Amino acid sequence: MHQEAPAALSSAPLLFQLIQTSSGTEASTSRPARPKPGLRPGPNIKDTGSRMRGTLGLSLSLLVCLTLGLLCVGLACVWSSRFRGGFGWDGSGLEFNWHPVLMTTGLVVVYGYASVLYRVPMTWGQSKLLWKLLHAVLMLVALLLSVVGLCAVFDFHNKNHIPNIYSLHSWVGLCAVLLFAVQWGAGFSLFLLPWSPLSWRKAFKPVHVWLGGSILGLSIAACISGINEKLFFVLKGGNHSQPYSDLPSEAMLANSLGIVIVAFGLVVLYVLTNKRWQRPEAQPQDGAYAVS
Amino acid sequence: MHQEAPAALSSAPLLFQLIQTSSGTEASTSRPARPKPGLRPGPNIKDTGSRMRGTLGLSLSLLVCLTLGLLCVGLACVWSSRFRGGFGWDGSGLEFNWHPVLMTTGLVVVYGYASVLYRVPMTWGQSKLLWKLLHAVLMLVALLLSVVGLCAVFDFHNKNHIPNIYSLHSWVGLCAVLLFAVQWGAGFSLFLLPWSPLSWRKAFKPVHVWLGGSILGLSIAACISGINEKLFFVLKGGNHSQPYSDLPSEAMLANSLGIVIVAFGLVVLYVLTNKRWQRPEAQPQDGAYAVS
């Protein structure tokens, strides 16, 4: 079990909390010096400066992640509403327009936010169970948004007699959603239900982390191929419209959405793979990450 | 500096080497028990069994990685040669056919093989410099294959008056190749040239690892969107040919290529992210990974 923070810590100013929790992370990634009996180690100005820079780097990365995620949702909404006529649920192209917005929001942005939740320094001094629950709830929201996004495209296809699940985009996207559903079910059963054995949690944790990153990668590949496919479908030129190859404003906006999605994924993976930014008790050597 | 293996180890049978090197990895991920003075710790049957299973898992994963990579190259070659008319360098579609083969081979398969090179257990008892050189040479081969693959599509486009670099596929693919070139140059300068400071190597190592995985992810996204785009271009139906939506044999083969590329990427990332399978001296606590 990880140790609870003192009550005073939760009411301390944020910057103080950041430094305290960052100090915990640093200590867990390198073997701490053993203090002499009866003495508490005094503060080291160089170490404190380094830790503060580390936590500021994490906070900045999380801020970039938050901003890029909101930009993804905003660009997808502008594309569907301004260039594709808006939204509806009537089997027309307006229903299809939910597909890029919901898949980007659920499978990429909310998924990415839920992935980096444990890296938010203000969560480190608090009970992990609360943040596990929020992680699971956010992931469930992401999964439900993705399923509704799939329903939108299936319903649009069925009502317009367009075949389903033939393009590579659809194969990869469906793989991503199916793996996500399996990951959520397995994660819930193993890490939230109290009767799952500790040995199973420890064994499954690396698979959960690897599969989590892989699903994000698959989702991004599905988004890129989907945006690319849609632009080739709708920007054919003729009828007073410009072809995709002329890069009209719709193409510029949707291509930019793709690049922002890629940038968001890179920042999320950077935050997740940086060992200095792991939640303190999540170090492998204490074996406690799977218990709380 | 990491310790050189005894000369006898290099001539030992492979299975013995696997167990020996696996033992080194396990020891570096957990704090080893301090032996009593004058005593060498005896073998523990349970630990040896666990380590052997771990190394067998790694060897099996590397075998799957090798097989999937060869399958990717084979499927790309069959697609271009059997369904798209073969190869040429004459500005026709035959020149374009080099593009999927070379990008898949260079940017995904050779890149993936070079990424997992340090995880091959038989390299662990030998000088790292040799394997660093091979890593750099393989990555250079991957980069050159990708550049020739780009030349093929640019030349085809230019000779047929088709605009370049407008689709999201091309933007993502170009980002992947440019980041790869930057990564190779920075990696060569920092990790192979002897005068780069140790502090720079230690600081850049996590960025090198994160960017390495990200470039593979970008490359796979570019491949998926490229295969998808090409199939929509060529399988339009009419002229006694079936449309993409009917999933003719070409579509099945190229979609399968995309799925095998994804599977290859997932196995490579699994090998790279599994901490138990890291090269023994590559543990952060000894700080030696950047020196040899």
Instruction: Nearest chain A residue to B258 by CA: give it.
Output: A168
Q: What confidence tier does A275 reach under pLDDT thresholds 50, 70, 90?
A: confident
Residues 6+ apart with CB under 8 A from B86: B80, B94, B97
**Chain A interface mutation, best of B211, B223, B228, highest count of A Cβ atoms under 10 Å:** B228
pLDDT of B124 > 70? The answer is: yes
Q: In whole numbers, what is the pLDDT of chain A averaged over residues?
A: 84
Contact B171/A209, CB-based, under 8 Å? no
Question: Hey, are the CB atoms on B213 and A274 less than 8 Å from each other?
Answer: no
Q: Of B222, B248, B225, whose CA–CA distance to B235 is shortest?
A: B248
At B126-165, the pLDDT tens digits run 888 999 999 999 999 999 999 999 999 999 999 999 999 9
A162/B contact by beta carbon, under 8 A:
yes
Strand partners, B241: B238
What's chain A's Rg over C-alpha atoms? 22
- In our burial notation (b when 16+ CB lie closer than 10 A, e otherwise), range B247-283 reads bbebbeebbebbebbbbbbbbbbbbbbbebbbbbbbb
The whole-number pLDDT of residue B175 equals 98
- Give the mean model confidence (pLDDT) for residues A98-127: 94
Taking phi over 0 as left and psi of -120 to 50 as alpha, with beta for the rest, A22 belongs to alpha
Beta carbons of B217 and A265 less than 8 Å apart: yes
Q: With 60 as the cut, is the pLDDT of residue A15 above it?
A: no
The shortest C-alpha distance from A10 to chain B (Å) reads 31
Return the closest-CA partner of residue A81 out of A100, A105, A106, A54. Answer: A100
Cα–Cα–Cα angle for A177, A180, A184, nearest 5°?
140
Cα end-to-end span (Å), chain B = 6
pLDDT, chain B, mean: 84
Q: Which position has the higher pLDDT, A178 or A1?
A: A178
For residue B222, pLDDT over 50 is answered with yes
- Quick one: fold of A59-286? Four Helix Bundle (Hemerythrin (Met), subunit A) (1.20.120)
Stretch among A190-194, B4-8, B261-265 having the lowest mean pLDDT: B4-8
Of B204, B217, B207, B206, the closest CA to residue B111 belongs to B217
Instruction: Name the CA dihedral angle for A230, A236, A240, A241, rounded to a multiple of 10 degrees.
Output: 40
Paired strand residues for A243: A236
Q: What CA–CA distances, in Å, run from B111 to A216, B23, B117, B122?
A: 21, 28, 10, 20
How many beta carbons lie within 10 A of that of residue B199, not counting itself?
9
Task: Find out whether A76 and A105 touch, Cβ atoms under 8 Å.
Answer: yes
Decide if pLDDT at B241 tops 50: yes
Q: What is the mean pLDDT of residues A41-64?
A: 73
- Structure confidence at residue A241 (pLDDT): 83
pLDDT for A34: 43
Q: Is the reported ipTM for this assembly greater than 0.90? A: no
**Domain boundaries along the sequence of chain B:** 83-286
pLDDT-based confidence at residue B45 (cuts at 50, 70, 90): low
Q: B83-286 architecture in CATH?
A: Up-down Bundle (1.20)
CA atoms B178, B184, B189, B191: torsion sign:
positive
Specify the pLDDT at position A246. Answer: 97
Contact pairs from chain A to chain B, CB under 8 Å? 140
- Determine the pLDDT at residue B51: 63
CA atoms within 13 A on the CB side of B257: 29
Query: Tens digits of per-residue pLDDT, A230-258?
Result: 999 999 988 778 999 999 999 999 999 99
Would you state the pLDDT for residue A122? 85
The verdict on a CB contact (< 8 Å) between A166 and B206 is no
Average pLDDT for B180-199: 96
- Structural element, H or E, at residue B238: strand B236-238
Q: Supply the pLDDT for residue B15.
A: 30
User: Residues B222, B106: contact at Cβ < 8 Å?
Assistant: no
Q: Which residues contact B132 (CB under 8 A, 6 or more apart)?
A: B191, B192, B292
Is residue B10 scored above 60 in pLDDT? no
Query: Quick check: A157 and A119 in contact, CB under 8 A?
Result: no
Q: Determine the Cα–Cα distance for residues A140 and A170; give it in Å rounded to an integer.
A: 21
* Interface residue A199 vs chain B (CB under 8 A): no
Per-residue H/E/C for chain A: CCCCCCHHHHCCCHHHHHHHHHHHHHHHHCCCCCCCCCCCCCCCHHHHHHHHHHHHHHHHHHHHHHHHHHHHHHHHHHHHHHHCCCCCCCCCHHHHCHHHHHHHHHHHHHHHHHHCHHHCHHHCCCCHHHHHHHHHHHHHHHHHHHHHHHHHHHHHHHHCCCCCCCCHHHHHHHHHHHHHHHHHHHHHHHHHCCCCCHHHHHHHHHHHHHHHHHHHHHHHHHHHHHHHHHHHHHCEEECCEEEHHHCCHHHHHHHHHHHHHHHHHHHHHHHHHCHHHCCHHHCHHHCCCCCC
DSSP string of B241-261?
EEEGGG--HHHHHHHHHHHHH
Judged by a CB distance cut-off of 8 A, whether residue B232 touches chain A is: yes
Out of A31, A221, A284, closest to residue B221 by CB: A221
- Please return the burial class of B243, using the count of CB atoms within 10 Å of its CB with bins 0-12, 13-18 and 19+: middle
- From chain A residues 114-143, the ones with a CB under 8 A of any chain B CB are none
Euclidean distance between CA atoms B144 and B150, whole angstroms: 10
Q: Over the stretch A139-173, which tens digit does the pLDDT of each residue have?
A: 999 999 999 999 999 999 999 999 999 999 999 99
Q: Are A117 and A131 a contacting pair, CB within 8 Å?
A: yes
Name the residue type at position B137.
V
**Whose structure tokens read 């005593």?**
B39
How far is C-alpha A229 from the geometric centre of its chain's CA atoms? 24
Of A175, A213, A255, the CB nearest to B168: A255
Cβ contact (<8 Å) for B224 and A224?
yes
Residues of A in contact with B172 (CB under 8 A): 224, 258-259, 262
Side chain identity, residue A251 = A
Q: What is the predicted pLDDT for the residue at A45?
A: 54
